[in-house]
Structures are given as C-alpha cells and as structure tokens.
Amino acid sequence: MKQIIYAISDSSGETATIFSRSMIAQFPMLEVEQKRFSFINSAQTLQEIFTQAKKDHAIIFYTLNNPEYDQIVKKLTQEHQVLAFDILNPYLKRIEAFTHQQASHEIGAARKLSAQYFDRIKAIDFAAENDDGKNPKSMLEADVVLLGISRTSKTPLSFFLANKQIKVMNLPLVPSVQLPKELWQVDPKKIVGLTTNEDVLQQIRQQRMIAYGLKPTTNYSDTSKIQAELKYADDLYQKLGCLVINVANRSIEETAAIIENRLNLNSI
C-alpha cells in the first residue's frame, strides 16, 4: 500500500519531517512518499496544499508557529476531511500550563538551538586544542584563561565550561617554566587563578602516584614542593590582579558557577 505523507511548516519543516518519519517507520508494510512544504507564508498556499492533500489521500504532519495559520489549518482539516497532526502547539500549550510560561512561537527556534549546538562543539574543540597551554597565542581568543598548578582541576573545568559554549584555555603553572608572553597581553578580567589547600593537594597527588603504581611519597607530593608551587601561583595571581578561586572541596559545577557569575559569561 502506498501512502503519501505531507510535512508542512512555516519554518524549514525539519521537525515535521523527522517526526512523520518516526511515526510511519512503525508501519513497515507501507510504501511511503514524503512531500515537504516549507516556509509557508500565506493562507492561499495552505488552501492549495490541503486541496491537493485530499486528492492524494495524504496524511499531514505540521508545525506552524503563526497562530493565524494554525487556525486556518484546523479549519481546512475539517473542511477537507484529511488526517492531520499538529505536532507543535498541543505540546506547547501543555508546557505553558505546567511552567506558567508563554511560548515564544519563534519561527526557526530549532535552528537557533542547532546553532548553539555547533557553538558548543567549537568551544569543546577549542578547549581540547588549548589544553595544558598547547597554543599560547590562543589566549587572546579565549573567553577564559585558567591558571593553576598541577591537580587544581584545570582540564575538567575547561571542558565543563566549554559545554556551555565558553572558549577556555588552561595553562599549567610550573615555577621552573617560563610563562608565555601572551599571558601579559590578556585582559586580567578574563583570567582565573585556581588554587587549593596544601593538605588537599597533597592527598590528591599521593592518590595520583598510587594510581600510577608508584609510592605515594614522591617529590611530586612533597610538602615543601607543594608549598613552593602554591606560593608561586599566589604571587603570580597578585601580579595579574585576576580572580582567584580555591577549588579545595569545591565541585566543578560550583567553580564554574563562580566564574560565570564573576566574569558575566552567558551559559546555555
């Protein structure tokens, strides 16, 4: 049996098309022909589509943000006695009732979300390419530059923020390694210095050594070395005049929230 499916929308029609395919996929015996009618901008166009739909014995799936067009389609559905599914407004009305918020009925809102998705991917790629100070020149492109000695959550924090479309570069601080000149060209308001408590850091580093199959008491977890590293970082943060956050006993989510609030970053 052949069945014609119409996907109608005053936007691209992608949502109606995908939804209709999902429904019809449950009927494997049907031979399906799908037609998409996108960017509907007149009542006359809707009239012509429904007239043809009746001839085709088509099943219609539609998403119409324009309230006027939505009412026209409901009227045409009755007049032409066709099977039509509104796959947008019934759900919006129920969400409105549940949240006590009004839907925007913005045309192309899904495409806007898609744009946000790709911005998020770009931010994640940026974080990966600039993890551990790989490309110092990228500091000038970053929304946030994270500084911190080893085991202060720089990398996980970078990727957490990247998932919120924030471009982050992180730079490990090692007293014996010269800082890149680009650091002094970055707006201090974009720089975040991460620090922690001595005892917390020592425990984390000892656990790290154990995970590698090594003894927990190494130079890496030595108290005097940790003290020297923390002082080096604190002195640098004072010179930079940047935001300083102690990450000891603080979750990644909490640290990220502080950064977003203090630096006025917009998360999604």
Q: Is 148 annotated as a binding residue?
A: yes
Is 152 annotated in a binding site? The answer is yes
Specify the DSSP class assigned to residue 212: T
Q: Is 4 annotated as a binding residue?
A: no
End-to-end CA gap in the chain: 46
Q: What span, in angstroms and rounded, lies between the C-alpha atoms of 50 and 183?
A: 63
CB neighbour class for 142 (10 Å; exposed up to 12, middle 13-18, buried from 19): buried
Residues in the chain: 268
Question: How many CA within 13 A on the CB side of residue 190?
Answer: 19
Q: 151: which residues sit within 8 A by CB, 6+ positions away?
A: 196, 201, 204, 205, 208
- Helix then strand count (H, E) for the chain reads 9, 8
Residue 205 marked ligand-binding: no
As a whole number of angstroms, the distance between CA 67 and CA 56 comes to: 26
**Residue 151 annotated as binding?**
yes
CA distance 43 to 8: 13
Contact status, residue 247 vs residue 194, Cβ threshold 8 Å: yes
Q: Is 150 annotated as a binding residue?
A: yes
Distances (CA, A) of 117 to 70, 122, 192: 29, 9, 26
Residue 63 has which token pair?
């998403």
Which ranges of 58-88 does DSSP label H, i.e. alpha helix? 67-80
Helix locations, 25-62, DSSP H: 43-56
Known binding residues are 148-155
Known binding residues for ADP are 148-155
